[in-house]
Amino acid sequence: MKRFMLSLAFLILLTMGIPSLHAANADFTESDQLLLHVSIGSDIQITPTADSFQLKDVSADLFFYPRRFSYQKPSNIITVPVANITEQYVHYYWENPDASVLSYRYDADVEIQHTADHMQRKIFFPLPRNTMQEYVKPRQYITSDDPAIGGLASSLVEGENDLSFAVDKIAVWAIDNINYNLTTLTAPVTQNASWVFENRYGVCDEITSLFIAMVRSVGIPARFVSGLAYTNYKSMNDWGPHAWAEVYFPDVGWVPYDLTYHQLGYVDPTHIVLRYSTDAGEPSVQLHWLSEGVSLHGEQLSLKVKLLQAAGKRASPLTMTAKVVAPEMGFGSYNLLQATIKNPHGWYVTREIQMQESTHLNVVGKKERILSLGPYQEKNISWIISADPNLDTDYVYTLYAEINGAGSQEVAVNVSASGPLYSLAEMRDLQREQEDRKTAKSVIFAQCLPDKREIYLREKVRINCTLTNTGTTLISGLDVCLEEVCSQVDVGTGESKTLVFEREGTAVGKQDYGVSLRNARVSRQLFTTVRILDVPSIAITQLKAPETVTFGQPFTLDFLLDKTSESTPVNVSVAVMQEGKNSHWNIGTLDQDKPFSIAFDGYTLDFGENTLKVTVRYLDTRGRVYETSTTQVVRLSKTGFKETIMVWLYKAERALEGVLTSIKGTSKD
Evaluate whether 495 touches 489 at the Cβ level (below 8 Å).
no
Q: Which residues contact 356 (CB under 8 A, 6 or more apart)?
A: 367, 401, 402, 403, 404
Residue 342 CA to residue 378 CA, distance in Å, equals: 4
The pTM score is 0.65
Q: Which residues contact 140 (CB under 8 A, 6 or more apart)?
A: 192, 279, 281
Instruction: Give all strands (DSSP E) within 534-644, no chain letters.
Output: 538-544, 548-549, 555-563, 570-578, 581-588, 594-600, 608-619, 625-636
pLDDT of amino acid 472: 55
pLDDT digits (tens, 9 = 90+) for 266-305: 999 999 999 999 999 899 999 999 989 999 999 999 999 9
pLDDT of amino acid 473: 67
Work out whether strand 581-588 and strand 454-456 pair parallel, antiparallel, or are unpaired: unpaired
Question: What DSSP string runs through 328-370?
Answer: EEETT-EEEEEEEEE--SSS-EEEEEEEEPBTTEEEES-SEEE
Question: What DSSP string runs through 208-257?
Answer: HHHHHHHHHHTT--EEEEEEEEEE-GGG--EEEEEEEEEEEETTTEEEEE
User: pLDDT under 50 in the chain at which residues?
Assistant: 10-26, 184, 186, 438-441, 669
**Burial (Cβ within 10 Å: 0-12, 13-18, ≥19) of residue 543:** middle
